[in-house]
Amino acid sequence: MIENTKKKPRLIISAANSGTGKTTITIALMDALRKKGITVQPYKVGPDYIDPKFHEAVTGRSSVNLDGWLLEESNNKYLFNKNNKDADISIIEGVMGLYDGYDKEPMIGSTAQISKMLKTPIILVMNAKGMSTSAAAVVYGMKNFGDVLIKGIIINCPASIRHYEILKETIEKHTNVQVLGYLPRLDEVQFESRHLGLIQSEEIKNLNNKIDKLSSVFLETVDINKLIEIANDVEALNSETIKDINDTYNVDIAVARDKAFSFHYRENIEILKELGAKIHYFSPIKDESLPSKCDGIYLVGGYPEVFAKELSDNYSLMKQIKEKADEGLPIYAECGGYMYLHETITTLTNETYKMAGVFSGGAYMKKRLQNFGYATIKADKDSLLFNKGDIVKIHEFHRSVVDREDEQPHVVVSKKEKKWYCGKAYKNVYGMYPHIYFPTDISIPRKFIKKIYLNKYKNNGEAN
């Protein structure tokens, strides 16, 4: 049972590298806990949009992103404490390998950093294919490289029961870390991937049945009581606060949300609400018009290239968005939303579909990632989100390029010695590939929402 509510019971699920089954083990654990009547608050390390949706499908609670590079320690602690007040246990899924983060720094932007920051024990997932005793060396190295709290091992997809027994014996003998069980290969519950990660949770048929199967097996093959015991054996965390939001604005913001546009941080929406906005979701695929109350638009990222035909077929909505842009309605578009505002999207199979046409030129899918990872932007001009000279930490992850005139940049993106131009503006519209996590810099959503407010009352002929 969960005992240490004041100390906030918690675990991190991590691994030595990507592709080991972290997400599978995480959702199996979350659902197993749920079946035992335990309320789970999920978190995800790093700027990921897809895994948190699986967490939400399992727990019924929004998963929150924690990030040691984008956010200060106080902000990470604040977000952690803020969201688990009514939960029995917090489960944090790591990013990539345990020590993978910003560039070559093992304790910046990594899961290991979050573990130390939040004083949270780590359960290491191992896919030990082709290994026996060498698995102990991997665990020993992972544990001692950064002196982190690895408190248990779960083996994912052992070749056989005998293989698991060998791994358990050698790891426990040579590392003093307990192996808590295994999850066998379950072909019927494998989750497919596409170019930016797993297939989205809302696209998977019979997802609940797959999760139920995973957690049922997990409860049979993993010592969940020991996991709960480890989660309880933690230190108390200091309560953290961030700068209060004193100014609020009475506006209505239309936010794109469907299978083509699902990449948004939960905290971005929460901060807009805290700043006074009423949020109205709409589907660029299905809805023929914007919400009736719409003072501004937030076009989030996603997979517009995958659903380009369906988006293109919804001509009436794109026409309305273009008309609103021409009228000066404030619109912020990031990554996939940025692509959508161009005249066309061309897929990898060389099919071209008409889009909203707010920005000139097209977006074109490429076979390889174009920009990936953490970077910093510096505003070259004033815009909907920035004042000239503003510097903000961001994240990029896309496989497309857009037509642009490089001599007219709106932001300059920097990653070590590499720099490139990004961003376009039209009247009160601003779009760019980089994703911004609003807790990184509260002034950005404040500028966005204030512009919406001023435009609303200017058009209404009212004064505050």
| Active site residues per annotation | 335
Distances from the Cα of 180 to the Cα of 335, 346, 362, angstroms: 41, 48, 52
Structure-token pair, residue 1: 């049972």
Q: Can you tell me whether residue 402 is helix, strand or coil?
A: strand
Task: Give the 3-state secondary structure of residue 397.
Answer: strand
Determine contact, residues 2/90, Cβ cutoff 8 Å. no
Calculate the alpha carbon distances from 225 to 14, 22, 36, 111, 232 in Å.
19, 19, 10, 24, 11
Provide the 8-state DSSP code for 103: T
Q: How far apart are CA 429 and CA 358, in angstroms?
A: 8
Report d(CA 323, CA 342) in Å as an integer.
14
Q: How many helices (H) and strands (E) does the chain have?
A: 13, 23
Q: Which residues pair with 93 in a beta bridge?
A: 13, 44
| Calpha distance 181→164 (Å, rounded) | 8
- Classified as helix, coil or strand, 152 is strand
d(CA 60, CA 48): 18
DSSP structure string for 171-188: HHHHH---EEEEE---GG
Where helices occur in 275-314 by DSSP H, the ranges are 308-313
Q: How far apart are CA 176 and CA 429, in angstroms?
A: 57
Whole-number Å distance between alpha carbons of 333 and 430: 6
